Each structure stands twice: as C-alpha cells, then as structure tokens.
Amino acid sequence: MERLQELNLPLASVIVLSYNASMFIEQCVRSVLESDYPNFEVIVVDNGSTDGSYELLRKLFGAIPNVRIMRNSRNLGFAEGNNVGYSDSRGEVVVFLNVDTVTEHDWLRRLVVALNSDATIGVAQPRLVSMEHPGSVDSEGGYMDYLGYIYLLGGWYATKPIRKTKEPFYAEGAALAIKRSVAESVLLGASIFESDYFLYYEDSDLCWRVRLSGHKIVCVRESVVHHQRAYAAGGGSYTSAYNFTKNHIATLIKNYGLRNLLRWLPIVLLFESLGAALLARRAGNIALARIRAIFWCLTNFRKLWKKHVYVQRLIRRIPDSDIVERMLKPDFHALRVEMAD
C-alpha cells in the first residue's frame, strides 16, 4: 500500500524560519535537501537576522532551483514569520520546520505518506529526537490539560510523567506537517498561525482548530527529525512570560465552547494572577509580564470574542466533548508548585 501511495507523491513545501541562526542554518537546509522525497520545495524565511545568516543563506543556497529565500525587514516572531512562508508556498502538504533541526533522509517521505494515508488525518509530526539531551525520551507530540496548560511527552515542560494517549493533542511547531486543504479550512483571515502570537501556543492553537474541524493529529514515529531545542528565537524571560501567558488565555477564549470557557477560564485567570503575586518580590519582571498579558486579553476581549465566534460558527464540526477526551486532567498540586516558578 505504501509503495502505491509513493507513486503519486504530492508537492511538499518545507518552510524553515531563521532568525540569527548562523550556527544552525546550513546543516538544517542541507539535511532537508538530502531528503529522498522526489517532489518538494524549500522556503527559507529570514526573520530580520543581523548575524550574517541571511547572507550565508544567499551564498550557499541562492542558486538552487527548489530553494526560495525570503527576508522580513524585522523579527516578526514565529507565527507571522511562518505566515509569510505559508503565503508563498505551493505544496499540497506544508511542513513547518525549526531551523535548529537536522532531518534524516527519509523523514519527509514517511511523513507525507502517513499524512495522506487517511482522509481524517489533518496534521502529522515526526518523532523529535533531542540533540541537546541524547538518550532522553523522544517527543511524539504535545499534550494539553483542560486549563490549556501544555506538556510534552519528553518532559521538557512537564513536572511529572505524562499519561500517553492514543494520539497527541497537538503537533509541535518544530516539525509540523499539514494538508493544505485542511489548513485552508481553519485559517484565521489569511493566516495559518494566529497573527497576534509572537511566540508560544501557535502550534497548539492551530491544532485545536484542526481538531475542531474534525481531523486527527498524529505522530509518525518512523519519520525522525533531530532537534537542538536549546535554541530560542524569541526574546528574554519577560518576553517569553508575556507571550506564553497571553497566548495561553487567548487560545482558550477562541477555541473552547461557551460552557467550557466559563468553567475553565476563571480558574486560569485566578492561577495566573496568584502566580504573579507570588513572583512579585523575587521576579518582578516576570510577575509584571503575566499581569500585562492578562490585561491585554481583557482589553482585547472584543477582538478575541470575534475570533471565538468565527471559530465556533465556521470551523467547528465536532462538539467539545470530543475535544476534551483528548485532553489531560489538570494536576492542581503540580500547578500550585509551578505558579511561583
């Protein structure tokens, strides 16, 4: 069956977003170009780098026919940077790949074949093997609890081992493949990733919408991508805390149905407010970032609610009960410990 599917492999667009990544960009792009997949294009989006990586890209790959290099005038963040690449892509399958990755030669073929093996699959991710911590548990996708807190099977965000479910709740943006037909059905405006998200929750928000449209999220273990994971394309701790909290709350508002939103959003706001209060003395900048994030969501609630209405009316095809089945129960004890971290 797999051989039959490989006879008619669709064009795949691999989008690599790069920001001041001169130490990673060459090995990442070269590994993609060495893929045994016969029909793909590579779109490298430079996010306003200042370390010479854009010039290096032009020198090394500018003359290769299936490579296109784009440049943003400034760092637009993960979401908007990848949106730029998506708008220029042509593939029936679109793959978003972090610049701090190295792919194995058969990764793309195995990923696309698995993605297209079932009409109900909307998104797939390869198995992510940590280069920073060899021998650690590989990431097979992300998980989310009822409160919208996210976890990875490999334990990078988790405070305890995660109960592995049949399939992950979302695919990691580090290596995420989506059918274009599915992507077009869950766009917010013209954007595949939420344009208000600079960093964090872009992948889980997208995959939540994919699930609402009635499609599955899977991990293809036979497709392997090695991930550095130590590299961060965002800002400092203030920027990270602000975007993580803001996007977490916004993701809940847009994607939950009204009943579950009224049930879980107040608890999240309470936890985040208490966490900020506990951090105020020893990490005032982080506390301020969390409070500012909450304030942003409250002052922009009308804007978020319009997106909520759009998602619920035009994207949703399945009830919240099916979504919640794929989530984890909150660990309130662990959350109390993490509130002040």
Pinpoint the residues of the chain covered by CATH 3.90.550.10: 9-227
Beta bridge partners of 17: 45, 98
Task: Using alpha carbons, select from 244, 235, 182, 181 the residue that is nearest to residue 212.
Answer: 182
Query: The tokens of 86 are what?
Result: 């998506």
Q: Phi and psi of 140, rounded to 5°?
A: -115, 25
DSSP 50: -
Query: The tokens of 172 are what?
Result: 């990691």
pLDDT in tens, 216-229: 999 999 999 999 87
- Average the pLDDT over 208-214 and give the result: 98
Which superfamily does CATH assign the domain made up of 9-227 to?
Spore Coat Polysaccharide Biosynthesis Protein SpsA; Chain A (3.90.550.10)
pLDDT given at position 185:
98
More confident residue, 230 or 191: 191
Give the Cα separation of 77 and 201 in Å (integer): 12
Going by pLDDT thresholds of 50, 70 and 90, the confidence category of residue 92 is very high
pLDDT in tens, 11-45: 999 999 999 999 999 999 999 999 999 999 999 99
Extract the runs of DSSP E, i.e. beta strands, from the chain.
12-18, 40-46, 67-71, 93-98, 101-103, 121-130, 142-144, 150-152, 175-179, 216-227
pLDDT in tens, 53-89: 999 999 999 999 999 999 999 999 999 999 999 999 9
pLDDT in tens, 98-121: 999 999 999 999 999 999 999 999
Q: What angle do CA 175, 327, 290 make, to 5 degrees?
A: 75
pLDDT given at position 137:
63
Query: The tokens of 43 are what?
Result: 């779109």
Give the Cα separation of 103 and 34 in Å (integer): 9
Count the Cβ atoms, other than its own, within 10 Å of residue 118: 12
